[in-house]
Amino acid sequence: MAIEFLVIFIPMFIIIDPIGTLPLYIAMTGSMDRAARRKTLEYAIVFATTLLVVFALLGTIILDYLSVSIDALMISGGLLLLVIGISMLYEGDMPRSRRKGAEDEPEVRQNPEDIAFVPLGTPLLAGPGAISVVIIMSGTADMPLVITSLLLVMFISAMILLFAAAIYGLIGKAGSRALTRVMGLITSAYAVQMILDGIYGYVSSL
């Protein structure tokens, strides 16, 4: 049970990657007061968690309606994660276009709602990679473990972002990038395994 839980939890944590979100979160909320930052974080975590739980519960139903198999989703999701992992390795930062140049020219707003739902809630926390992993896990693992893992990841993410300034000051920009590179390597390996499992499942079903 513990091993199965870790197999679900680790990929979710790596893909959601709250540590990689630290620099942009600090940039976006830097001019907010403490209360506004906390409210922004609360909105973002609740929204991202709700979105991912919905996809975990209804993802397979949506796939069945679209006549898309879990194997096909594993292959496509694996390719997406592979691109993300390789970009993390080479750039040392989260490889999403919305982050490019974000630290140089941050767009800071005072209203928590302005950034809590988009881009912080989605696609920073609940991005396409996280959604793909959640749907795949919900179709291949026990749902209680999937939901428990997801809730734990989001709780840890909330704690990391709550103390974002202290953590980022401790590990620094170089430390954050180093951790992102390590996560990129693990993400790439997991993505390749996901693609192989998808191909194996498809071939076995013929």
Answer whether residue 24 shows pLDDT above 60.
yes
Q: Which two three-digit tokens encode residue 72?
A: 């096909």
What's this model's pTM, rounded to 2 decimal places? 0.73
Task: Give the model's pLDDT for residue 110.
Answer: 54
Q: Which two three-digit tokens encode residue 87?
A: 């970009």
Answer whether residue 8 shows pLDDT above 80.
yes
- Sign, Cα dihedral of 85, 99, 8, 140: negative
Higher pLDDT, 39 or 170: 39
Task: Give the model's pLDDT for residue 39.
Answer: 94
Selection from 151-160, 163-172, 193-202 with the highest mean pLDDT: 151-160
What Å distances lie between residue 37 and 16, 58, 112, 165, CA to CA?
Answer: 20, 31, 7, 11
Answer whether residue 32 shows pLDDT above 90.
no
Task: Give the model's pLDDT for residue 91.
Answer: 59
**Residue ranges per domain, the chain?**
2-205
Other Cβ atoms closer than 10 A to 187: 25
pLDDT by residue (tens digit) across 38-96? Answer: 999 999 999 999 999 999 999 888 888 888 888 888 888 788 778 877 877 875 444 44
Among 35, 4, 17, 39, smallest CA distance to 153 is for 17
pLDDT by residue (tens digit) across 100-158? Answer: 444 444 444 457 777 899 888 987 898 877 888 899 898 888 999 999 999 999 999 99
Kindly tell me the number of DSSP H helices and DSSP E strands found in the chain: 8, 0
Q: Which two three-digit tokens encode residue 144?
A: 């209680």
